[in-house]
């Protein structure tokens, strides 16, 4: 108990600047962008139009149309920034049609971040010309501003969803009376969501204590950032992660107050809600004395690592920096700490690894997951072709563009099949869902897993028992 | 946006080509108005994607009937503005003609449509145990058609030559709508003027290439990689000359200057010695015994000349590591500032040292940041000005810098473009190199192929110059 108290801080350590005025960067309007949340002109100008991104862009591969390429998107943003073009519905569409997979950034000689530039374009178009199907806007706002920021609300709403073995979003769509289902995009979306559903287990968050003690010789204290999707859809994965961290000798803190990382909001262009969530999370986690804040959701990890930029001017930069320096993907953390492998049980399986875009491209982490796989006895890795090509999930992209998403997924599944592996493994819930759906849709024998579920199976004992 | 095209004309195009192959929204027009050339852009009236030679002929007819300029385009990675629609009109994007039609192992040739990506061709022939050597820096993106139009070079130029050296046959559509076939699979061919050689490097001003047959060679069996550092860039230049004088032709002989070395170190910290003024990356390839022998000879030359550090890769991984600096050069420089202006001044190898000195002098004179890297074995340098397009005063100095540098390049018998082409970017320089007589002959050739001056106007010659011939 006493040790527990030591690791808890009572007072928030950060100082807030005046939040009210901070974000609204005063004055200067950037061409035809609105003053609030405009992309950075510096970032846009950095594109030298070399075109090296073209063969790496999934949407350009689909359309062979320059405006749907990273270079095209950066140049459209430049045209708007220079007042040569309006922030038209088509510019806006390209903002939303971008998968935000960041594959272009990985190969860009000049390091241009087209994904984040497009996130700003989304924020700009959010309430103007956003080409959403009817009803989506209300639904989106309901989801983004009401449901996602609150774990309790999400979990409660899931109760009914679980009863029907349905994904909560669809349940909410049907039960919230916020929109009428129409044939076409929404109908397809609903149908697709059914196919994507994992077998739902009760959310993990309320089944675990706020502190899970280290097993064996203690190596440190970490927090586990439990993502919304992981918690709701893949509690078995979260359990695998917590158990692994504990078995590896780390006290694991799962702060009750943690909220959504804000990634879905950034994706949808709702930067303000994302900032509020971000502030809350920094405040919540920095109350603890931690060696690391670990996540097993690549999307969350990428968003959390970007808090410094998101919250610039809104919170004291020292604390933002401290928060940033703690955030690690679970593979990055475990490999960095060095896996204790002596007690692990073999997990006999041949797997192929799909690099999540938000891990490989947004965070530059591709070696560590493979090293982690290598550390687990019994797991055999067979590399697939284009392992870091997007699976077509892209947060809600797959739901907004179902047809295109299937084409991207087909390309991925063809590469998965060629490996003849028993399973396709990844490190992000969005990819996990999409790959599971891909497997089901193509009637394949392979299975889709989050790597941490398999790592969890190799443990000699479990700190957190399964549900039931 | 006012378009020179009627709705009816757009309808006609869509009916003939399919509506997916015709783009005319302003967002599309804007994004087909540029290529990789800094500062330059145009704005087409319509963008089309022909899929067959017949469709190309139709597009030519359409441009003629509507009195529009016509600019062919591949992936838009050119660095001289060759595919920019300088006067608007029709942009014909060739990327949907992207089939590899044949790999002929008996004749060692490959026949492809112009929109095939360079690396895709290289990979496809490699899968059959063959080798297509031209490797321009943008080979993952660039098209064969674009490579042919610009006569693209690359890192292997010294030993293996450039695109022209591999083009055996071409098919093209000319501005009168006729289909031209030139060259063939026969290794020797002296029948009449070589239109093939005329079309290679013609920058899309004479015809639109619709099919390309290239020659292939067996790949080298072994390769040896080494790096040498020099405290003095002139010594590095001397090393290049001496290696060649020793009758060794390395496959790769690349140079990086001090600014480039330091930019790479700032960007990726791979342990390059920051104090060194020059880095040479040397690769020799061929039969294993020959490679070993050449590597030893190169080592000897480097020692004799006075290289300060010499490292020879013993394993594939070490070779990979040694080439990392060269591979990262452009990325590292491009990150230093928003605007990156990369030139391709090329001199006889023996003038490398004097050219590096001149670059240093002019960098100081014009108070600029310039990193230089390039294909030292070819005497082909890429002095790269790191600047900001918003600073118009500095941009002026950049242009003055290059203009004065070209005085030196031409004085020592070099060329204003080793591999990027004249395009729009160097229209002013061409006459300085080949004289008014040379330009006049070129304009007459252009007139013979395209009397209306409709095909890719504004390239190679200024419009006024072309007007003179017509009159």
The two structure tokens encoding residue B253:
């002989």
Q: Indicate if the pLDDT at residue A224 is higher than 90.
A: yes
Evaluate if residue A17 carries a pLDDT over 80. no
Contact B172, B209 (CB under 8 A): yes
Q: Output the domain CATH number for residue A291.
A: 1.20.1050
**Token pair for residue A339?**
């896996």
Mutate to test the interface with A, among B20, B31, B268, B385 (most CBs of A within 10 A): B31
Give per-residue burial for B356-389: e unless 16+ CB within 10 Å, then b.
bebbbebbeebebbbbbbbbbbbbbbbbbbbbeb
Pick the closest to residue A264 from A392, A367, A156, A396 (CA basis): A396
Q: Which residue has the tokens 């600073």?
A: B391
Which residues does chain B have within 8 Å of residue A45's beta carbon, measured at their own beta carbons?
338-339, 388-390
State percent of chain A over pLDDT 90.
Answer: 60
Give the closest-approach CA distance of B336 to chain A in angstroms.
8
With beta carbons under 8 A apart, name residues in chain B contacting A50. 36, 77, 138, 334
pLDDT band, very low/low/confident/very high, at A150 (cuts 50, 70, 90): confident
Name which of A52, A67, A111 is nearest B27 (Cβ-Cβ): A67
- Other beta carbons within 10 angstroms of residue B247's beta carbon come to 8
A444 — contact with chain B (CB < 8 Å)?
Answer: no
Q: Does A356 score more than 60 pLDDT?
A: yes
Edge-to-edge, what's the strand order for the sheet holding B167-173?
B100-104, B109-112, B208-215, B167-173, B179-183
pLDDT exceeds cutoff 50 at B469: yes
Contacts of B35 in chain A (CB under 8 A): 49, 51
CA distance B264 to B452: 48
Do the strands B167-173 and B100-104 form a parallel or antiparallel pair, or are they unpaired? unpaired
CA nearest neighbour of A281 among A243, A240, A327: A327
Whether A468 is covered by a domain: the verdict is no
In a domain, A171, yes or no: yes
Minimum mean pLDDT among A261-265, A266-270, A340-344: which range? A266-270
Question: Considering CB atoms only, which of B35, B334, B338 is closest to A109?
Answer: B334
Q: What is the pLDDT of residues A287-329, one digit of tens each?
A: 999 999 999 999 999 999 999 999 999 999 999 999 999 999 9
Considering the domain boundaries, does residue A398 fall inside one? yes
> pLDDT band for position A136 (50/70/90)?
low
A151-165, A360-374, B49-63, B192-206: least confidently modelled range: A151-165
| Mean pLDDT of chain B, nearest integer | 94
- Predicted confidence band at A137 (pLDDT cuts at 50, 70, 90)? low
Instruction: Give the nearest chain A residue to B328 (CA atoms).
Output: A109
A46 CA: distance to closest CA in chain B (Å) = 4
Out of A49, A55, A90, closest to residue B35 by CB: A49
Whole-number Å distance between alpha carbons of A44 and A25: 18
Say what the pLDDT of residue A402 is. Answer: 82
In angstroms, the Cα distances linking B93 to A34, A52, A60, A192, B63 are 34, 17, 14, 36, 14
Question: Is B123 at the interface with chain A, CB within 8 A?
Answer: no
Could you tell me which of A44, A25, A37 has the C-alpha nearest to residue A85? Answer: A44
pLDDT at site A198: 58
B95 touches chain A (CB under 8 A): yes
Is the pLDDT at A135 greater than 60, yes or no? no
In 3D space, the residue among B306, B173, B317, B192 whose CA is nearest the CA of residue B242 turns out to be B306
Contact A72 B339 (CB under 8 A): no
The sign of the CA dihedral A324, A327, A331, A332 is positive
What average pLDDT score do residues A125-138 get?
A: 57
Hey, is the C-beta of B29 within 8 angstroms of any chain A C-beta?
A: no
Same domain, yes or no, for A370 and A444?
yes
Residues of A in contact with B388 (CB under 8 A): 45
A364, A240: one domain: no
Q: Are residues A79 and B77, on separate chains, in Cβ contact within 8 Å?
A: no
Average pLDDT, chain A: 83
Answer whether B96 touches A (CB < 8 Å).
yes
HSE-up (13 A, CA, CB side) for residue A279: 19
Question: What's the confidence (pLDDT) of residue A141?
Answer: 65
A55 shares contact with chain B (CB less than 8 Å) = yes
Q: What is the total residue count of chain A?
A: 468
**Across A352-373, average pLDDT:** 97
| Residue A30, domain member (yes or no) | no
Confirm or reject contact between B163 and chain A (CB < 8 A): no
Q: What is d(CA B259, CA B53) in angstroms, rounded to the nearest whole number?
A: 47
Euclidean distance between CA atoms B48 and B31, whole angstroms: 13
Question: Three-state SS string across chain B, please?
Answer: CCCCCCHHHHHHHHHHHCHHHEECCHHHHHHCCCCCCCCCCCCCCEEECCCCHHHHHHHHHHHHHCCCCEEEECCCCCCCCCCCCCCCCEEEECCCCCCEEEEECCCCEEEECCCCEHHHHHHHHHCCCCECCCCCCCCCCCEHHHHHHHCCCCCCHHHHCCHHHHEEEEEEECCCCCEEEEECCCCCCCCCCCHHHHHCCCCCCCCEEEEEEEECECCCCEEEEEEEEECCHHHHHHHHHHHHHCCCCCCEEEEEEHHHHHHHHHHHCCCCCCCCCEEEEEEEEECHHHHHHHHHHHHHHHHHHCCCEEEECCCHHHHHHHHHHHHHHHHHHHCCCCEEEECCCECCHHHHHHHHHHHHHHHHHCCCCEEEEEEHHHCEEEEEEEECCCCHHHHHHHHHHHHHHHHHHHHCCCECCCCCCCCCCCHHHHHHHHHHHHHHHHHHHHHHHCCCCCECCCCCCCHHHHHHHHC
CB A420 within 8 A of CB A385: no
The partner residues of A380 in beta bridges, in order of sequence, read A350
Between CA B151 and CA B418 the distance in angstroms is 10
Mutate to test the interface with A, among B25, B334, B373, B389 (most CBs of A within 10 A): B334
- Chain A residues with CB inside 8 Å of B334's CB? 48, 50, 109-111
Decide if A45 and B35 are in contact by the 8 Å CB cutoff: no
Query: How many CB pairs below 8 Å do chains A and B form together?
Result: 84
Return the residue matching tokens 């998101």. Answer: A310
Show which of A289, A310, A336 is a domain's final residue. Answer: A336
Terminal-to-terminal C-alpha distance of chain A: 28
| Residues B280, B337: Cα–Cα separation, whole Å | 25
**A307 in the same domain as A227:** yes
Residue A48 in contact with partner chain B when CB distance is under 8 A: yes
Neighbours of B465 (CB within 10 A): 18
A74 and A158 belong to one structural domain: no
In tens, the pLDDT along B226-263 reads: 999 999 998 999 999 999 999 999 999 999 999 999 99
Question: Tell me, what's the pLDDT at B174?
Answer: 98
What is residue A251's DSSP assignment?
A: E
What is the H or E stretch that residue A296 is in? Answer: none
Cβ of A50 and B138 within 8 Å?
yes
Q: Please tell me the total number of residues recorded for chain B in this structure.
A: 471
Separation between Cα atoms, residue A123 and residue A39, nearest integer Å: 9
My answer on whether A208 and A332 are in the same domain is: yes
**Sole residue written with tokens 């109908």:** A187
Domain that residue A250 falls in? 2-7+204-336
Q: Do A76 and B30 touch (CB under 8 A)?
A: yes
Q: What is the pLDDT of residues A397-410, one digit of tens each?
A: 877 788 899 999 99
**Same domain as A300, residue A227:** yes
CA distance A84 to chain B (A): 10
A162 in B contact zone (CB under 8 Å): no
Look up residue B401 and give its two tokens: 């810098």
Contact list, B49 vs chain A (CB under 8 Å): 64
Q: Closest partner residue to B138 among A52, A67, A110, by Cβ?
A: A52
Same domain (yes/no): A166, A231: no
Q: What pLDDT score does A162 carry?
A: 44
Percent of chain A with pLDDT over 70: 78
The answer to whether residue A465 is domain-embedded is no
Cβ-Cβ contacts under 8 Å for A109 (sequence gap 6 or more): A48, A50, A52, B330, B331, B334, B335
In chain B, the residue whose alpha carbon lies closest to the alpha carbon of A53 is: B141
Last-in-domain residue among A90, A125, A160: A125
Residues of A in contact with B390 (CB under 8 A): 45
pLDDT of A265 = 85
Same structural domain for residues A357 and A444? yes
Residue with the larger pLDDT of the pair B464 and B245: B245
Chain B environment of A55 (Cβ under 8 Å) = 117, 140-141
Backbone angles phi, psi at A110, to 5 degrees: -95, 5
Angle between helices A89-97 and A70-81 (to 10 degrees): 140
Q: What are phi and psi of A113, to 5 degrees?
A: -105, 85
Q: Which of B1, B26, B27, B138 to mutate to test the interface with A (most CBs of A within 10 A)?
A: B27
For residue B141, give the nearest of A45, A55, A110 by CB distance: A55
| A177 shares its domain with A278 | no
Domain shared by A219 and A328, yes or no: yes
Is residue A282 a part of any domain in this protein?
A: yes
CA distance linking residue A205 with residue A201, whole number of Å: 12
- CA-CA distance, A309 to A278, in Å (whole number)? 11
Smallest Cα–Cα separation from A335: which of A457, A214, A455?
A455
Q: Is residue A466 part of a domain?
A: no
> Chain B partners of A72 at a C-beta cutoff of 8 Å?
31
Measured between CB atoms, does B15 come within 8 Å of chain A? no
CB-CB under 8 Å, B36 with A94: no
A66/B28 CB distance under 8 A? yes
CB contact under 8 A, A75 and B36: no
- What are B389-413's pLDDT values in tens digits? 999 999 999 999 999 999 999 999 9
- Cross-chain Cβ contact B38/A49 below 8 Å: yes
Asked if A91 lies within 8 A of B27 by C-beta distance, the reply is yes
User: How would residue A178 be classed by pLDDT, with cut points 50, 70 and 90?
Assistant: very low
- Overall number of domains in chain A: 4
CB-CB under 8 Å, B31 with A75: yes
* A51 and chain B in contact, CB less than 8 A: yes
pLDDT given at position A7 = 43
Specify which residues B173 forms β-bridges with: B179, B208
Average pLDDT over residues A364-378: 97
Claim to verify: residue A260 and residue A363 sit in the same structural domain: no
- Per the CB < 8 A criterion, the answer to whether B230 and B307 are in contact is yes
Residue the block writes with tokens 């989801």: A143
CB contact under 8 A, B334 and A48: yes
pLDDT of B307 > 60? The answer is yes
User: Is A376 a residue whose pLDDT tops 70?
Assistant: yes
Question: In this structure, what are the phi and psi dihedrals at residue A359, rounded to the nearest 5 degrees?
Answer: -100, -55
Do A451 and A372 form a contact (C-beta atoms < 8 A)?
yes
Confidence of residue A37 (pLDDT cuts 50, 70, 90): confident
Beta strands B222-230; A211-212: pairing state = unpaired
> What's the pTM?
0.90
Chain B touched by A75 (CB under 8 Å): yes
Mean pLDDT value across residues A343-352: 97
- Please check whether residue A131 lies inside any domain of the structure: no
Determine the Cα–Cα distance for residues B146 and B203; give it in Å rounded to an integer: 8
Minimal C-alpha gap between B78 and chain A (Å): 8
Which residues in A lie closer than 8 A to residue B95 (C-beta atoms)?
64
- What does the DSSP 8-state code read for residue A147? I
Chain B residues with CB under 8 Å of A84 CB are 30
Cα B411 from chain centre: 23
Q: What is the ipTM score, two decimals?
A: 0.94
The closest CB to that of A109, out of B32, B38, B331, belongs to B331
Q: In this complex, is the C-beta atom of A406 within 8 Å of any C-beta atom belonging to chain B?
A: no
Residue A140: the pLDDT is 63
- Domains annotated for chain B, with CATH where assigned, are 7-93 (3.30.43.10), 100-215 (3.30.465.10), 222-411 (3.40.462.10), 427-470 (no CATH)
Backbone phi and psi for residue B249, each to the nearest 5 degrees, phi listed first: -115, 95
The last residue of one of the domains, among A336, A365, A400, is A336
Query: The CATH number of the domain where A111 resides is what?
Result: 1.10.1060.10
Query: A276 and A215, same structural domain?
Result: yes
Q: Which residue has the tokens 């360079």?
A: B118
Paired strand residues for B73: B93
- What does the pLDDT look like over B137-185, one tens digit per residue? 899 999 999 999 999 998 899 999 999 999 999 999 999 999 999 999 9
Using pLDDT thresholds of 50, 70 and 90, give the confidence band for residue B133.
very high
Which residue in this structure is represented by tokens 């820096």? B137
* Minimum-distance CB partner of A51 among B76, B331, B339: B76
Angle at B166 between CA B163 and CA B170, to 5 degrees: 90
């Amino acid at each position: 108990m006493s040790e527990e108290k030591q690791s808890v801080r009572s007072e928030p350590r950060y100082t807030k600047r005046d939040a009210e005025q901070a974000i609204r960067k005063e004055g200067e309007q950037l061409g035809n962008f609105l003053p609030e949340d405009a992309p950075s002109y510096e970032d846009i100008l950095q594109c030298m139009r070399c075109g090296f991104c073209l063969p790496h862009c999934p949407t350009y591969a689909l359309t062979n149309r320059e405006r749907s390429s990273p270079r095209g998107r950066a140049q459209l943003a430049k045209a708007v920034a220079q007042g040569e073009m309006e922030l038209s519905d088509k510019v806006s569409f390209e903002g939303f049609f971008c998968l935000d997979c960041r594959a272009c950034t990985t190969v860009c000689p000049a390091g241009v971040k087209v994904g984040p530039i497009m996130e700003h374009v989304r924020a700009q178009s959010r309430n103007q010309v956003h080409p959403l199907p009817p009803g989506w806007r209300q639904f989106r706002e309901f989801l983004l501003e009401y449901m996602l920021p609150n774990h309790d609300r999400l979990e409660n709403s899931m109760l009914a969803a679980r009863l029907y073995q349905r994904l909560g979003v669809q349940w909410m769509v049907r039960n919230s009376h916020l929109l009428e289902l129409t044939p076409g995009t929404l109908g397809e979306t609903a149908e697709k969501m059914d196919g994507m559903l994992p077998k739902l287990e009760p959310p993990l968050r309320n089944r675990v204590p706020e502190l899970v003690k280290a097993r064996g010789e203690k190596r440190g204290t970490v927090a586990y950032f439990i993502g919304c999707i992981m918690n709701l859809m893949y509690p078995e994965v979260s359990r695998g992660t917590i158990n692994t961290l504990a078995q590896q000798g780390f006290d694991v803190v799962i702060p009750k107050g943690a909220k959504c990382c804000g990634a879905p909001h950034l994706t949808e262009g709702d930067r303000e809600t994302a900032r509020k969530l971000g502030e809350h999370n920094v405040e919540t986690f920095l109350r603890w004395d931690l060696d690391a804040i670990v996540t097993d959701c690549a999307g969350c990890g990428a968003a959390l690592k970007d808090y410094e930029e998101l919250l610039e001017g809104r919170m004291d930069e020292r604390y933002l920096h401290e928060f940033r320096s703690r955030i690690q993907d679970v593979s990055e953390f475990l490999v960095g700490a060095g896996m204790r492998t002596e007690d692990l049980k073999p997990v006999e399986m041949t797997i192929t690894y799909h690099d999540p875009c938000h891990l490989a491209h947004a965070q530059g982490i591709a070696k560590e997951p493979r090293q982690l796989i290598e550390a687990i006895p019994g797991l055999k890795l067979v590399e697939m072709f284009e392992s870091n090509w997007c699976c077509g999930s892209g947060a809600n992209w797959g739901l907004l563009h179902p047809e295109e998403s299937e084409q991207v997924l087909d390309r991925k599944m063809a590469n998965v099949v060629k490996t003849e592996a028993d399973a396709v493994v990844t490190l992000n819930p969005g990819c996990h869902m999409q790959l599971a759906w891909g497997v089901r849709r193509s009637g394949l024998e392979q299975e889709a897993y989050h790597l941490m579920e398999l790592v969890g199976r190799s443990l000699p004992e479990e700190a957190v028992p399964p549900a039931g | 946006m006012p378009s020179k095209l009627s709705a009816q004309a757009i309808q006609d195009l869509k009916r003939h080509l399919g509506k997916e192959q015709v783009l005319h929204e302003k967002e599309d027009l804007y994004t087909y108005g540029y290529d990789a050339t800094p500062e330059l852009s145009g704005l087409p009236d319509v963008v089309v994607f022909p899929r067959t030679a017949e469709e190309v002929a139709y597009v030519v007819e359409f441009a003629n009937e509507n009195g529009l300029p016509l600019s062919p385009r591949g992936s838009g990675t050119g660095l001289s503005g060759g595919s920019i629609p300088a006067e608007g009109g029709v942009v014909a994007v060739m990327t949907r003609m992207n089939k590899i039609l044949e790999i002929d192992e008996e004749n060692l040739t490959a026949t492809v449509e112009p929109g095939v990506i360079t690396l895709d061709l290289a990979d496809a022939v490699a899968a059959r145990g063959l080798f297509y050597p031209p490797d321009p820096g943008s080979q993952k993106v660039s098209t064969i058609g674009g490579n042919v139009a610009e006569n693209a070079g690359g890192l292997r130029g010294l030993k293996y030559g450039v695109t022209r050296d591999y083009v055996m046959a071409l098919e093209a559509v000319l501005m009168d709508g006729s289909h031209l076939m030139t060259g063939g699979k026969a290794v020797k061919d002296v029948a009449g003027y070589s239109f093939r050689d005329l079309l290679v490097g013609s920058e899309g001003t004479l015809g639109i290439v619709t099919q390309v047959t290239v020659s292939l060679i067996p790949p080298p069996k072994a390769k040896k990689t080494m790096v040498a550092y020099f405290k003095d860039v002139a010594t590095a230049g001397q090393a290049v000359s001496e290696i060649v004088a020793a009758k060794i032709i390395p496959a790769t002989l690349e140079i990086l200057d001090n600014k480039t070395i330091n930019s790479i170190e700032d960007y990726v910290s791979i342990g390059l010695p920051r104090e060194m003024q020059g880095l040479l990356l040397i690769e020799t390839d061929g039969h294993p015994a020959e490679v070993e022998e050449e590597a030893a000879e190169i080592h000897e030359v480097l020692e004799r000349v006075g290289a300060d550090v010499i490292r020879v890769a013993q394993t594939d991984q070490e070779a990979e590591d040694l080439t990392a600096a060269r591979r990262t050069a452009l990325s590292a420089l491009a990150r230093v500032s928003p605007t990156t202006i990369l030139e391709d001044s090329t001199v006889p190898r023996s003038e490398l040292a004097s050219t590096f000195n001149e670059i240093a002098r002019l960098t100081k004179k014009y108070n600029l940041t310039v990193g230089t890297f390039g294909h030292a074995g070819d005497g082909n340098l890429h002095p790269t000005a790191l600047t900001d397009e918003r600073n118009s005063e500095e941009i002026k100095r950049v242009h003055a810098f290059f203009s004065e540098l070209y005085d030196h390049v031409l004085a020592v018998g070099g060329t204003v473009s080793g591999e990027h082409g004249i395009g729009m970017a160097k229209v002013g320089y061409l006459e300085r190199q080949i004289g008014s007589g040379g330009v006049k002959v070129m304009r007459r050739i252009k007139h013979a192929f395209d009397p209306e001056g409709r095909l890719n106007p504004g390239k190679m010659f200024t419009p006024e110059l072309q007007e003179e011939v017509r009159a």
